[in-house]
Amino acid sequence: MAEQVHRVILRGKFGGLDRHARAALLAEADDHDVLDARFTGRGSLTYDRRLAGFTFRCELSVPEDIGRAELRKRAETKLAALLAAFGCGHRDLELSSTNMARIKIRRR
């Protein structure tokens, strides 16, 4: 079965923010600027100093027959691991994804 690359974006809000998690996020806020956003295998988290919400971008190589629910689960697992380092969770997630095999490039 062939693998396909999906670029996934999860938008959400931080969950379980206590003062320690808030301090950890604020200490690295400048390193998580939207200008540094990338689609990587590890994932890229962006947020601002207000900590109102975040955007997580990742690139997943998955079997071509994978469903949207499984794609979401894999992306959420990566996100949860990244947020665990800050001592917080997530809530109110919205998913969008693009199958890179379906992107058409128009040549002039």
Profile the chain (108 residues) by mean pLDDT over runs of 10 residues. Answer: 90 93 90 83 92 94 91 95 93 94 83
This prediction has a pTM of 0.89
The answer as to whether 108 is a domain residue is no
Enter the DSSP assignment of 48: -
> What is the C-alpha R_g of the chain?
15
pLDDT of residue 1: 63
Classify burial at 58, counting beta carbons within 10 Å of its beta carbon; exposed 0-12, middle 13-18, buried 19 or more: buried
**Largest CA-CA distance found in the chain, in angstroms, rounded:** 54
pLDDT of residue 33: 76
Full residue range of the structural domain in which residue 40 is found? 3-102
What is the count of structural domains for the chain? 1
The answer as to whether 98 is a domain residue is yes
